[in-house]
Amino acid sequence: SLLFSGAHSIIRIVERLSAPTPLGQQSVAMNTPMAQRSLIDLAFQLNSIVFTLVPVALALFLLAGDRTNPFRRIGFDLRMPLRDLGGAFAIGAAIGIPGLAFYLLGRELGITVAITPAALQPEWWAVPVLLLAAAKNAILEEVLVVGYALERWRQAGWNWWAASLTSATIRGSYHLYQGIGPFFGNLVMGLVFNEAYRRWGRTMPLVLAHFLIDLVAFVGWWLLPQAARDFFG
């Protein structure tokens, strides 16, 4: 699914760059409504979140085929909660704070589109769905692009740096729909996350860090007053 998203984003950035409107004047909205009626929209949102995680289940199943515990193999478990949480806050701050500055720089340079992280209707279930969306993104990307991919490429005899750069490039590619800036920002994020995985042998702190970053982006945006939204837009 991430390879599809990457290919889709490449086509999208070609469309954006070839459009009459400059890239910096374009916009994109995330976490958008899927239906007009509240409960139908909620059902669609939950359905999308659940089925987007199917590739994660498949990846863990394939890792289990090697007669190992797939969760322990990539460190996607709860054996080290305090260490994982500490690492998550450290990486989250190291990526999230510069990431915001990089987004604003990209907007100033005209290489990043205006991003609305949360465009759901003001429903009672909006914040819980945004939390689930943040968790979904974190699990999907870190388990597949870091844990599963790096383990498989290691088994295939890949050089570490070749594997890490490939993984990071894939991560950057499916953010191209947001502009050139987010591609490079997520590529750097991927390299940092991959190095953390190499050192710690665990995806859980990466999942938690990614969740925290998206949590701040999604729910934080949702709670911002309109004046602050206009500043970041």
Res 232 pLDDT > 80: no
Please report where in the chains the tokens 């190291």 appear, as a residue: 94
Mean pLDDT within 184-204: 98
Q: Mean of the per-residue pLDDT values for the chain?
A: 95
What pLDDT is stored for residue 37 in this prediction? 96
How many structural domains comprise the chain?
A: 1
What pLDDT is stored for residue 65 in this prediction? 84
Element containing residue 139 per DSSP (H, E): helix 126-141
What pLDDT is stored for residue 36 in this prediction? 94
What pLDDT is stored for residue 4 in this prediction? 84
Q: Could you list the residue range(s) of the whole structural domain that residue 157 is in?
A: 2-232
pLDDT in tens, 60-112: 999 998 788 999 999 999 999 999 999 999 999 999 999 999 999 999 999 99
Res 39 pLDDT > 80: yes
What pLDDT is stored for residue 233 in this prediction? 64
Query: Secondary structure of 55-123 in the HEC alphabet?
Result: HHHHHHHHHHCCCCCHHHHCCCCCCCHHHHHHHHHHHHHHHHHHHHHHHHHHHHHCCECEEECCCCCCC
pLDDT in tens, 184-193: 999 999 999 9
pLDDT in tens, 129-168: 999 999 999 999 999 999 999 999 999 999 999 999 999 9
